[in-house]
Amino acid sequence: MPRREVLLLALAFGLPSICISANNVAVPLFFYSKGLSPLLIGELYSLGYFVNSTLVYIFSVIGDAWGRRKATIVLNSIYVASLLTFYYFRVYYLFAVFFTFTTGGNITALLAEKADDSTSAFSLASSVAISLGVIGYLISGLLPYSTVFLIEVFVLLSSLLLYVYVKENYSGTGRLEFNVPSLRKVSKFTFQWVIGFGAGLVLPLFSLWWHLRFSLDRETISLISIISSLVVAGTLQLAPFIRKKFGGARAVAIMFGFQTLATVLLPFSPIVPIAVVLYLTRNVLSNLSNPIILNMLTNSVRKEEIARADSFLSAVNSYIRTAGPSVSGYLFSEGNFYLSFELLGLIYTSSLIMFIFLFRSEITK
């Protein structure tokens, strides 16, 4: 049974998923309703990848230096202030600040500190996040934008308060260090950077793609997202079993291969149900891989740099994603709803080849 603090951290990590899920549907359509073109929406998401990931990395460095819990509380406070200003003062560029609502490597480090089995802890946190994300999809499909954004503020404040009740044993190094000493080990995980470029092409604008490709309304898009979240949350607890059964690297390679195939086929679906099945397949396999990859990473670096290592990989991943939404926004504006996915398939295939090469000794054990 997970320790009390693991459950608190899982819930604190999971609550912002309500905001993330709501915004996945609401924000692109909100911008579109305000007269922004798909190209401009894509450019705002590109800006978000750069600004938010930089902010998260800075706070991960602060977390390694003076404590991950304190850094996370301050970062969440910034998100609350940015969200309020974004909607109520119509400063739309502040979307780039809160964008993902992520706490980066700080939550990874906190979970690794408190858990006996980090893969199980990461799977639990992901399951809680995805399950709570259903609420976000519901409110984005049923409520007006003003109410959605107000609920997000209260959710973020609740998450912030939960961190207050977590006692952190790690006191920090007392030094701000932006470098990653275990960079040689971390470099094996740079295959994620290739994934990042491909994911940036499609994932941020998925709700807009459903709307433009199949003329689905916000309520239907929310329903598809809810189904996806429930299926993913239900399967995530299989991650520890899959890792033990096949080995971490081998399991990731197999799931990533089938995920790529589903992604390539998705835009050619003649009807919505087929597209939904492929969408679910892609999401399940992608999310099952994440706890296993995090376990591989946290076992590769010293505890003093877990937050930095995880956030360093995520930050560069996000920088690489910056061009993606703009490319897809342009293609969507031109009525092309296929090419982004095929480019994504090529990039994912390259990443899979890179992963197999980097982890060939673990895969062939």
* Span 5-33, pLDDT tens digits: 899 999 999 999 999 989 988 888 889 88
Where on the phi/psi map is residue 19: left (φ > 0), alpha (ψ -120 to 50), or beta? alpha
Residues whose CB is less than 8 angstroms from the CB of residue 178 and which lie 6 or more positions away in sequence, other chains included: 61, 308
**Does residue 255 surpass a pLDDT of 90?**
yes
Best mean pLDDT range from 118-132, 133-147, 257-271, 305-319: 257-271
H/E element, 263 = helix 248-265
Nearest to 340 by CA among 201, 189, 224: 201
So what's the pLDDT on residue 1?
37
* pLDDT averaged over every residue in the chain: 88
**135 is written with which tokens?**
């609420």
What angle do the packed helices 118-142 and 218-235 form, to 10 degrees? 160
Tell me what the mean pLDDT of segment 148-165 comes to.
93
Q: Report the distance separating Cα 110 and Cα 324, nearest Å.
A: 31
| Amino acid at residue number 165 | Y
| Residue 233: per-residue pLDDT | 86
Q: What confidence category does residue 153 fall into, taking pLDDT thresholds of 50, 70 and 90?
A: very high
pLDDT, position 299: 84
Fold for 4-169+181-363, please state it.
Answer: Growth Hormone; Chain: A; (1.20.1250)
pLDDT (tens digit, 9 = 90+) per residue, 74-125? 999 999 999 999 988 888 888 889 888 888 889 988 998 888 888 888 889 9
DSSP 8-state assignment for residue 106: H
Domain ranges for the chain, please list them.
4-169+181-363
The pLDDT value recorded for residue 250 is 93
SS3 assignment, position 266: helix
**Residues 92 and 86 sit within 8 Å (Cβ to Cβ):** yes
335: left (phi over 0), alpha (psi -120 to 50) or beta: left
Tokens of 216: 């689905």
Minimum mean pLDDT among 36-40, 165-169, 197-201, 307-311: which range? 197-201
Res 155: pLDDT: 95
Mean pLDDT of 128-151: 90
